[in-house]
Each structure stands twice: as C-alpha cells, then as structure tokens.
A = this chain, B = another copy of it.
Amino acid sequence: MRKKKKVSIEDVAHRANVSITTVSRVINNVSTVDPKIQARVEEAIAYLKYQPNISAQRLARGLNNAVGLVMPGYPGIFHSFYAIELIRGIGHACETLRLDMVFHITNGFNPLNSNNVGGIIFADIIENRKQVEHTLEMGIPCMVINNIVQDLDVSYVAIDNKAGAVMATDYLFSLGHQKIAMITGNLKTQGGFQRLEGFKESIQKHNITLPDGYTYEGDYSRRCARQATEYFFNLKPAPTAIFASSDDMALEAMSVVMEHGLKIPEDISVVGFDDNPASLYGSVALTTIRQPLFHMAESSVKHLNAMVLGKKKERVKVVLTPELVVRESCRPPKNP
C-alpha cells in the first residue's frame, strides 16, 4: 500500500493552473469566478479527489462548524426513546446544516474541551450542571434541551411536561374515571417531576381526593412499571385507569394487566407519554401524549447555529406544547 500523500489545495491549484485563492473561491462558492476557470478547477478537484482539510478551514476561518452533544451517562438513558429521538433529531439537523456532530457521553466531570466545537447542546442539565455553567462562563454558545432552566441564564428548548400530564389526566376524567393511578418517571428529572405536578393539578381541579398509594414513584424503566402495576392491583379500591409517565412503562403496565387476565381497555384504561411508535403495534394501540422530541432536537441545533454565527445574541427560551393522541387503550370505567 503506497503512502498516498494527502492532496492539498495547492495541488489543485497547480493542476488547474490558477492560484490557491481561486481554488478556495470555487470551494466556497464565491460567485465571482469565471465559468471556464471554475470548470477547470472542478475538474482538478475531481481528478485529484481533493477534499478540503477541515482543520485548516476552521483555523483560518476562526470558527468551528461542529456542535457538541453531551449526554449524561447514567445507566438506562440510552435505552430510552427520549435519548434516541434526540440523537436522531440532532444528527439530522447537523447533516442538513453540514455541521459535525461531536458526541460526548460524560459523567459530568471530564472538563469537556469545548474548543473543538462551535457550540454545545446539553441533552439534559441533570448531571451536567457544572459543565453548563463552565460553558457559559467561557462564553461558548450553548443550549440545554428539555429543561426549563430558571436559575441560570441559558438558552433552552423544552417541552411543557406539566401541560401534557394535565391533558392526559383530564382526558381520563372526561371518560368518567375517578380512580386514576399514576406511575411517575424519575423525579430527579424535570420532565418526571413536572408530569407528576400536572397529574396532581388535574386531580385537584376535579376536586377529587385520591386514595393512598395511587402514585407510584418509578424511574422510566419497565421493571418499575411492572412493580407499580402489581402494587396497584393490591390496592383496596383498585384504580380503573393508569397514567404512566412514559410509553415504555405504559406498555409494561398493559402487559401486567393482561397477564392478570384482565382486558384493556375494558377493565382498565391506560395512557402513556411519548408517542413511541412501539406503542402502536401491541395488541392494543396506546393512547398517549405526543411530545415533539425530534422537532425539539432539530430546533435546538438551528438556534445554536444562529448563535455560533453571531446572528443571535439574546438567549433563546422556547417551550413546546405536547398533544393528546387518542387510540384504543382508554374507555369509560365499568362502574363509575
């Protein structure tokens, strides 16, 4: 295998018989190039299979067209619909904007060399708060996703989790349910916490007092959803409806219910949160709250990019609204 010398802009310039600058111009689509010369340069580029050295471009331009994505490393996050949609959304946006997406999984302690990216997106502020603060201090553009950050002047794109939970619970009430149980997500997570808040708000609004134990603290895992559901079965007035803080948990709850020989939605109604496509294909399609995860991820990249390019100086604070998707897993209770 011959050691192929990297071809540089100079080689192209030679072959096309023009100056380096001209080559640079055609690379960057500066329109002031004579069509004939342009063609010659392009021929040379193709012939030599030339590809600009990004490091050199960045150095010369003084800016950096890479965005960092930092995800907290806690176990399980990766196996969540949430994380995956974020990665997809951000990846897609980067591909479109021709940005590099530099991916960091971090426990929150690595200093996170931020000089190799133009800006940073934090998939969550939990576990990475220090790094967010540091990034802010350094004046590096950054965005936090899925958290309404009040105590830090940082840009974010978030989802109104509380509103979503209210929708879900209100819907169950509207069907006539009164005995509604909830499996919460991880309450250290803002989303998890706010969904619980929304649930409580709806309950209160309807002037109901829930029996004890109608709220089970979960952590988004299927395992805890299973435990929660088993637990609900043992309650004196058993709930007629379950609101789970994620589709995954809702799905597991449905499995448990069916393993007990009960039917959904006849015996028990279930609503989830996410709109995970997996919840479409079970034996009963899940009614759920759709949150615009992909969209949120995409738009965070766009905002970040605008900040990096200096087009936007103020902080961006966006809160997206989720939406109720009615499918087959809910029905009025038998004995209201």
Total residues of chain A contacting the partner, CB 8 A: 56
Contact with B along A233-269 (1 / 0, CB 8 A): 0000000000000000000000110110100000000
Is the CB–CB distance between A278 and B102 below 8 Å?
no
Residues of B close to A101: CB separation below 8 A: 102-104
Asked if A24 is at the interface (CB within 8 A of a chain B CB), the reply is no
Is the CB–CB distance between B102 and A102 below 8 Å?
yes
Asked if A51 is at the interface (CB within 8 A of a chain B CB), the reply is yes
Q: How far is A74 from B139 in the complex, measured between Cα atoms in Å?
A: 38
Copies of this chain = 2
Asked if A272 is at the interface (CB within 8 A of a chain B CB), the reply is no
Residue of chain B at shortest CB distance from A136: B1
Is the CB–CB distance between A91 and B115 below 8 Å?
no
Interchain CB contact (< 8 A) of A95 among B53, B100, B105, B313: B105
Q: How far is A209 from B197 in the complex, measured between Cα atoms in Å?
A: 59
Is the CB–CB distance between B78 and A84 below 8 Å?
yes
Is the CB–CB distance between A105 and B91 below 8 Å?
yes
A189 to chain B, nearest CB (A): 19
Q: Which residues of A (87-104) have their CB < 8 Å from a CB of B? A: 87-88, 91-92, 95, 100-104
Is the CB–CB distance between B84 and A81 below 8 Å?
no
Residue of chain B at shortest CB distance from A138: B49
Asked if A64 is at the interface (CB within 8 A of a chain B CB), the reply is yes
Residues of B close to A87: CB separation below 8 A: 78, 87, 103
Query: Closest 6 CB pairs between A and B?
Result: A54-B116, A223-B281, A55-B58, A51-B115, A91-B105, A4-B139
- List 7 additional A-B contacts (Cβ < 8 Å) besides A1-B139, A49-B137: A78-B88, A101-B104, A102-B102, A222-B278, A222-B281, A255-B255, A255-B258
Chain A interface (Cβ within 8 Å of chain B)?
1, 3-4, 6, 49, 51-56, 58-59, 64, 66, 69, 78-79, 81, 84, 87-88, 91-92, 95, 100-106, 110, 113-116, 137-139, 221-223, 226, 255-256, 258-259, 261, 277-278, 280-283, 313
List 7 A–B pairs whose Cβ atoms lie within 8 Å, in order of A's numbering: A55-B56, A55-B59, A79-B84, A91-B105, A102-B102, A223-B280, A226-B283
